[in-house]
A and B are shown apart, each in its own frame.
Chain A
């Protein structure tokens, strides 16, 4: 199983991960279109990441969300009807949605964000 892990104590809230993610997948530097989220709190930085727990796949009415061989939940956009139940039911709030698109989007543990993280707050871990 492959997934992103986080250590919020190391996060400095620079947003490099968000920039990398949205640029890679949507060709746009827009944190609203990132599959990882960083929020600056009063004394810490909150990182919202997908744990690949699979709740989204359980609630999907069209089986458009499925775990691949590495345990990464992937969306088959062709089968998705854009109901966003997965967005509402994600226990980590890590299933993302943007009104520019009819389908939601999520982290597929590609690791691009980890490459630009200056502090090692996010890493790809294979179990």
Chain B
């Protein structure tokens, strides 16, 4: 379909002109509010108090969301919002990983706030167009596209009946529509979802970035928590931003020289050390597929096992050799020399509506190779990339898709569900055809795809209520908490990582803390107090990236040459110091590590209380499924029998005459008790009650004793 025809069928619902506020020290202090129920558009001022308490990015998202919703609001309520916000450092072009957008909404999976970070050009272009944040509220009657034109200084809402929905088509259509030349195309960024986001709860948002070498609009994903589902429920097809220009000084920094110097220093580290460390420039996060397998940490067959002999078929060098374009400057924002956004070019699809098309697949990334691959027993690199592609373009989360498919496969193999229930899908582990059929069903909104697309949490309930499944067993093997699927790491043998997943705000995602190596391999945090300290520091430290508009990868996927000789190598203090410099360079305010953690604590505790306000966020919500803590089944136990027995003997357990089942029960009792003790220690360290509620004293100390927060926690004290 040609672009003119798409345009001819557009109907302008509203057009709003604004005066652009230039950035000053990283902020515009303006937020763009759009209500698509009544087509209201307005520019809101950001107060000094908001800046002080919430900094930006996810902080702004959480604050606006709180103000928009009530405890009764659900994901599909009209008042639910989608907020896209950057942060004061976001949009600088000199330091790697400085283009992240943070997206917040009430999640269709968890019913609590979700935040997801995403690359691509949208967030920085939003800032350059005059806004620190974008708030979208309401629901349109018919499909709309929102256009934020930073060149013309207008915001338009247009009905868009003929545009595609799938991400890779729509991203391209709109990039071409609003960019007439290569130079102009790279000034356009588009947010889309996809057709499966309409029929599942695991919808994502795709954020485009125009790739001048491949001459195509590529996409990064705000993946977790079903934000794309909310987006399509609001009948938004796309949000487009058009930047006037991109230059290195648009943030109008306090001291650009500090930013330049700090950025160039990290570029040099990447140039000299990356090939000796993680090979991020060559293969991105997929470099750890084989590493995780070697350490027994790669989830296999729904998190039952940690390695598989066939992993070699999907190890990183296979993708480097056979699929990915190498050594391209693949950053998802300018200045990212970590350049992890790899792509498989000219990838010919074998199934689905785009069968036979040659496409660019963004990936593989570790999470999707592990999730749609190993965790489902699929060790076919082509299938991994094809599933990766369809997850993206259909607008669904590869992490949730991998984990929920693995769960359905285990249920199928154990006879909990059968072919009659799956509508003929032979959901054996390793059956790539079945997984591909399932994903196409999700896009069409039919068959078992509709059930699976509700996620593990709702599948468990469905199987129990309709097929007589054993509820306790499904609770044990379903890798979800708070309604969100686990991401792709085995936490069974690392108590700290069990906490890293379980004691999180949004649900089990590793962006708060990844402590497996510190805990299990390097034994750097042996006591409960050590683990609790790590489960305080790292989640707070990593929250900070989300406040500032930064990516975590340049912090620890490259390290200075002398890092191992430092006092606490896991913290990578030199890089932490870089962030202090960036903050100072942008805002003119000096901070140290203590202030950095306090900035995060304010937002982290706010989010915790937001969870409580929405009905989750207490100790009972932080419990984790036993599959992620230890062996549920005899097979799992036997696969690591000698390790488990050794551990229990060291603990002083008498195993004489015990059956395997008895040993499993003993181990379980021990591990569950350990998790409870860890929870006590972490809550104490975070300044929470033993029910997981932030105390008024803690809030006062943080300057967050806001009346609305105190009111929520009052009944729990």
A interface list, Cβ under 8 A from B: 58-63, 79, 81-85, 87-89, 97, 99, 102-103
Contacts and interface: CB of A to CB of B under 8 A. Distances in A.
What 10 A-B pairs come out closest when comparing CB atoms? Answer: A88-B267, A82-B248, A83-B335, A99-B257, A83-B93, A89-B271, A88-B268, A102-B248, A81-B334, A81-B93
Contacts of A63: 212-213
Listed residue (A58, A61, A89) with the most chain B CB atoms within 10 angstroms of its CB = A61
A12 B260 CA distance: 32
Interface in B72-117: 93-94
Interface string B298-340: 0000000000000000000000000000010101001111000
B335 A62 contact: no
B371 interface: no
B264 interface: yes
A81 B337 contact: no
B30 interface: no
12 contacts: A61-B212, A61-B329, A61-B331, A81-B248, A81-B334, A82-B93, A82-B247, A83-B93, A84-B264, A85-B337, A97-B260, A99-B260
Contacts of A61: 212, 329, 331, 334-336
Given A79-B183, A88-B271, A59 B248 contact: no
Given A84-B94, A99-B257, A62 B248 contact: no
Interface of B: 93-94, 183, 186, 212-213, 246-249, 256-257, 260, 263-268, 270-271, 327, 329, 331, 334-337
A106 B336 CA distance: 21
B127 to A, nearest CB: 14
Contacts of B257: 99
B128 to A, nearest CB: 11
A82 B212 contact: no
A103 B331 contact: no
Given A83-B248, A102-B248, A62 B267 contact: no
Given A84-B260, A88-B263, 18 more contacts: A58-B327, A59-B329, A61-B331, A62-B186, A62-B334, A81-B246, A81-B247, A81-B334, A81-B335, A84-B248, A84-B263, A84-B264, A87-B264, A88-B266, A88-B267, A89-B271, A89-B337, A97-B260
Contact of A82 (B249, B266, B331): B249
B307 to A, nearest CB: 36
A105 to B, nearest CB: 13
Contacts of B260: 84, 97, 99
A32 B625 CA distance: 60
Nearest to B267: A88
Nearest to A77: B247
A88 B331 CA distance: 15
